[in-house]
C-alpha cells in the first residue's frame, strides 16, 4: 500500500475524474479540428474523386463510401460530380487513416480508515449525561486500479486540383485537413460527422475546432445522411428564408418532394398540419415531417444547428419556383428549385 499526502491525493483524483469525463464525452461527441488552405468557388464546376493513396483502389468499397461523404461536401457548395473524368474541371484526391493511441492508465483509488475519534456528549432524561466516542474516517493511502483508455486519431485529407492544367504540375485549388481524436476506431462512424461540420463550406478558408453530437435523438445528422443517400437527385439552393432558417436540400423522390430545412438556434418552429407547397397556382399537401414535430413546436438550442425534412406529395418535375406556407405560422416565398 502506498501513502499519499492530501494534496497529492486530490491531484490524482482530479486527474482520474478528468480522464473518465473525457472518455464519456468521446462516446457522445465527434470533435474535429479543421484547417483549410486556399479559396476557390466550386459553383458549377465538375469534379471527380480518386484515392490519394496508390495502395487504395478506386473500386474499394470503403473508399467509395468515404468518397460519398466528400462528394456531398463539394455538391453542397454547388459543384457537380462528373461521370467522365475527362469532362471535369476539378480532380479531388482524398486519403484517410486511423492511428491507435490507446494506453493503460493506472488510477489511484483511495483507501479510507479510522484516523481518530471524537467524543460526543448527550443529556438524556433517564441516564443523565452520556458520553460516546465516534470514529473519524479519512484517506490513509491508495491502491492502483488499471484501466484501458481507448484513444484513436482519425484523419481525412482532401486535395482539389485543377484538372485542366496540362502544361506543368496541376495547381492545387483547395486543401482541407481534418483531424479528430476520440474513443471510437470506426472511420465509418466518424468520417460523416467530421465532414458534416464543413458542409456548405468547400472552397472556403477555415480554421476551427467543432463538436457534433451523435445519438439517436439528433435528427440533423439523420436528415443529412438521408439527403446524401439521394444526392444524384438532390439540389442545393441554400435559399435563406429568415435569419435562422434556410432551405439546404431539395430531393425529388418518385412522387415525393423532400425539402431539407436548416435551423440555427436559439429559436422554435411550429409546423402546422395544413402546411402546403404552392407552385404555379396549385397547392401540394405536406404528407410528413422528419426530425421535427408535426403540428407541434420544435425548439432549437443556442449554438445548435439542426436539420429537418418537409415532405410534399405530387410536385411536378418541371416546377422551378415555389412557396411553402404554414397558415398563421410562416410563409417562405420564391424558393428557386432549378435542376
| C-alpha pair distances (Å), 19 with each of 39, 55, 149, 183, 284 | 39, 37, 9, 12, 54
| Confidence at residue 18, expressed as pLDDT on a 0 to 100 scale | 29
Domains and CATH numbers, the chain: 19-102+150-214 (3.30.160.670), 228-336 (2.60.40)
pLDDT in tens, 118-144: 888 888 787 777 788 888 888 888 888
Give the 3-state secondary structure percentages of the chain, helix then strand then coil, rounded to 5.
20, 50, 30
pLDDT in tens, 143-185: 888 888 889 999 999 999 999 876 778 899 999 999 999 888 8
Q: Residue 293 is placed in which grid cell?
A: 414535430
Classify each residue of 205-221 as buried b or exposed e, where b means 16 or more C-beta atoms within 10 Å of its C-beta: eeeeeeebebeeebbbb
| Residues 83/46, Cβ–Cβ less than 8 Å | no
Q: What is the DSSP letter of 2?
A: B
Distance CA 309, CA 176 (A): 29
Would you write out the chain's pLDDT as a tens digit for each of its 339 residues?
434 333 333 233 323 322 333 333 333 578 899 999 999 999 889 999 999 999 999 999 999 989 988 998 898 788 888 888 888 999 999 999 999 998 888 888 888 888 888 888 888 787 777 788 888 888 888 888 888 888 999 999 999 999 987 677 889 999 999 999 988 888 888 888 888 788 878 999 999 998 776 654 344 455 555 555 554 445 555 667 777 777 766 777 667 888 888 887 788 899 999 999 999 999 999 999 988 899 999 988 876 767 788 999 988 888 888 999 999 899 999 888 754
For every residue of 94-112, DSSP letters joined together read EEEEEEE--EEEEEEEEEE
Strand 282-290 and strand 245-253: pairing? unpaired
Give me the phi and psi of 138, to 5 degrees please.
-155, 175
Task: Give me the residues paired with residue 106 across strands.
Answer: 146
Amino acid at each position: 500500500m502506498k501513502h499519499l499526502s492530501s494534496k497529492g491525493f486530490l491531484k490524482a483524483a482530479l486527474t482520474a475524474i478528468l480522464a473518465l469525463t473525457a472518455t464519456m464525452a468521446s462516446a457522445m461527441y465527434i470533435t474535429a479540428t479543421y484547417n483549410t488552405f486556399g479559396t476557390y468557388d466550386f459553383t458549377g464546376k465538375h469534379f471527380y474523386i480518386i484515392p490519394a493513396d496508390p495502395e487504395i483502389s478506386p473500386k474499394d468499397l470503403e473508399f467509395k463510401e468515404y468518397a460519398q461523404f466528400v462528394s456531398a461536401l463539394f455538391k453542397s457548395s454547388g459543384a457537380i460530380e462528373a461521370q467522365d473524368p475527362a469532362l471535369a474541371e476539378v480532380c479531388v484526391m482524398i486519403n484517410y487513416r486511423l492511428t491507435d493511441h490507446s494506453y493503460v492508465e493506472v488510477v489511484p483509488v483511495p483507501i479510507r480508515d479510522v484516523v481518530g475519534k471524537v467524543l460526543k456528549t448527550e443529556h438524556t432524561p433517564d441516564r443523565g449525561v452520556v458520553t460516546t466516542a465516534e470514529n473519524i474516517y479519512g484517506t490513509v493511502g491508495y491502491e492502483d486500479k488499471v484501466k484501458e483508455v481507448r484513444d484513436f486519431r482519425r484523419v481525412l485529407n482532401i486535395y482539389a486540383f485543377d484538372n485542366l492544367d496540362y502544361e506543368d504540375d496541376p495547381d492545387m485549388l483547395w486543401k482541407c485537413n481534418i483531424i479528430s481524436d476520440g474513443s471510437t476506431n470506426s472511420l465509418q462512424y466518424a468520417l460523416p460527422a467530421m465532414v458534416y461540420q464543413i458542409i456548405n463550406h468547400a472552397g472556403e478558408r477555415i480554421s476551427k475546432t467543432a463538436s457534433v453530437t451523435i445519438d439517436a435523438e439528433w435528427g440533423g445528422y439523420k436528415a443529412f445522411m438521408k439527403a446524401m443517400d439521394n444526392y444524384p437527385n438532390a439540389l442545393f439552393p441554400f435559399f435563406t428564408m429568415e435569419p435562422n432558417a434556410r432551405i439546404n436540400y431539395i430531393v425529388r423522390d418518385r412522387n415525393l418532394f423532400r425539402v431539407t430545412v436548416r435551423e440555427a438556434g436559439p429559436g422554435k418552429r411550429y409546423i402546422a398540419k395544413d402546411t402546403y407547397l404552392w407552385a404555379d397556382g396549385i397547392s401540394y399537401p405536406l404528407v410528413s415531417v422528419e426530425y421535427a414535430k408535426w403540428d407541434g413546436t420544435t425548439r432549437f438550442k443556442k449554438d445548435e444547428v439542426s436539420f429537418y425534412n418537409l415532405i410534399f406529395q405530387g410536385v411536378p418535375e418541371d416546377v422551378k419556383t415555389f412557396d411553402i406556407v404554414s397558415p398563421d405560422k410562416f410563409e417562405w416565398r420564391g424558393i428557386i428549385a432549378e435542376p
